[in-house]
Amino acid sequence: MAVENIKKVKLGHYPTPLEKMENMTKLLGKGELFIKRDDSTGPAFGGNKTRKLEYLMQEALDTGCTAVMTIGGTQTNHGRTTVGAAVKLGLKPILVLMGEDTGYLSGNLNLDAMMGADIYFVSNPAKLMEVMKDVTAKYEEQGDKVYNIPGGGSNPLGAVGYIMSVKEIMQQMEEQQLKIDHVVCTVGSMGTYGGMLLGAKYFNAPFDVIAVPVAPEPKDKKVADVVAFVNEVSKTYDMGVEITAEDVKIAWGPEDAPYSGEAYNKPDPVTREAIITLAKNEGIMLDPTYTGKAFRGFMELVEQGELIKDGESAMFVHTGGAMALWTKEHLDDMQGQLRANCSTTQI
């Protein structure tokens, strides 16, 4: 079936806004800068997972599932959006999370709990597969049929959401008479970047798509993984696109201070500075794990003249996740920078 005709359930609000960042454009002084607000897709605050979940949840419904299980870290945005989508569709939400139950539910866990998710914390990552099997068996014994969604919703079906987002962007560009030459997003489990890269080739988009990694990884391996993922998705849906390593554009940042920071989900002051810059100029909140890192990359590429050449413009894809700002560890780590960024007066 042609990728355009794959059935999906409606979960989000589309098109998500495509807006000019007037103040960031002035601040950086190079080209015109836009933002695609995929942080406001809904449900449960949404983010990039909603586009993927529309296709995955359709399959869950079509196959008669009554429960949905997915995996991630304890603060997974994907998990929170999956829970929101499941409750909206009347399915039982099950999260299998790698990490400890600290006894305090903050950030995404606060929201997962509010929506009534069944949450299983797994201390030993080596036991993950076993736990998933046992949890599935437990629900199936009770008469449920469990739909299993991979981490990040990043399989070929989930990626269709981001393939199709390219069409939405091209339509908005036409309606708003915009010229966008470069699009920057994060790359984690690859569904977003892989989907957009494939969508850009398939729909002949007038822009290229550049990714910023969210964790330090061997460069050649990441590029090879993206190539393999994109070509697998293309083959699955008979899209006739085949990419090579030359098509994959990943901005790693300086060797001594990469955009990914030291580690996945490790708060660092440089990433937080990027978050604060967008917050104080546009009133838009990024997250410390994904979009803060990617936006730092976006700003530096613009400032250094690497992204935008004469007369060009660029768009940042905001993929959501800002609720991670309210996890205890991020709040604790941010206090100094917050105090320095505002004025407080006790009267």
CB 64 within 8 A of CB 145: yes
Torsion of CA 338, 340, 346, 347, to 10 degrees: -130
The DSSP secondary structure of 167-184, one letter per residue, reads: HHHHHHHHHHT----EEE
Helix (H) or strand (E) holding 131, with range, is helix 128-141
Beta carbons within 10 angstroms of residue 62's beta carbon: 11
**Cα 274 from Cα 293, distance rounded (Å):** 8
Task: Specify the residue, 107 or 152, whose C-beta has the smaller distance to ligand PLP.
Answer: 152
Q: Does 182 bind ligand PLP (CB under 6 A)?
A: no
* Least distance in angstroms from the C-beta of 347 to ligand PLP: 38
Per-residue binding letters, 101-140, with ligand PLP (x by CB under 6 A): ----------------------------------------
The verdict on 152 binding ligand PLP (CB under 6 A) reads yes
Number of residues that bind ligand PLP (CB under 6 A): 20
Instruction: Write down the least CB distance from residue 143 to ligand PLP, Å.
Output: 31
Q: Does 296 bind ligand PLP (CB under 6 A)?
A: no
What is the nearest approach in angstroms of ligand PLP to the Cβ of residue 322?
8
| Choice from 106, 186, 271, 277 touching ligand PLP (CB under 6 A) | 186
CB 186 within 8 A of CB 192: yes
| Minimum distance of ligand PLP from residue 213's CB (angstroms) | 9
Q: Segment near ligand PLP (CB under 6 A), from 15-23, 138-146, 283-291, 330-338?
A: 283-291
User: 219-242 b/e with 16+ CB inside 10 Å = b?
Assistant: eeebbebbbebbbebbeebebebe
**Smaller CB separation from ligand PLP, 139 or 264:** 264
Nearer to ligand PLP, 32 or 81 (CB): 81
Q: What is the DSSP letter of 15?
A: S
Q: Are 217 and 252 in contact (CB under 8 A)?
A: no
Name which position in 16, 74, 291, 327 contacts ligand PLP (CB under 6 A): 291
- CA torsion through residues 52, 271, 257, 314, sign: positive
Q: Which stretch binds ligand PLP (CB under 6 A): 188-196, 256-264, 273-281, 305-313?
A: 188-196
Query: In the stretch 201-240, what mask flags binding to ligand PLP with x, by CB under 6 A?
Result: ----------------------------------------
47 near ligand PLP (CB under 6 A): yes
Q: Is 284 exposed, middle or buried (0-12, 13-18, 19+ CB in 10 A)?
A: buried
Report the b/e string of 88-110 with b at 16+ CB within 10 A: bbebbbbbbbbeeeeeebbbbbe
Instruction: Select 313 or 319, whichever has its Cβ closest to ligand PLP.
Output: 319
Which chain residues interact with ligand PLP by CB under 6 A?
Answer: 47-48, 77-78, 152, 154, 186-193, 287, 290-291, 319-321
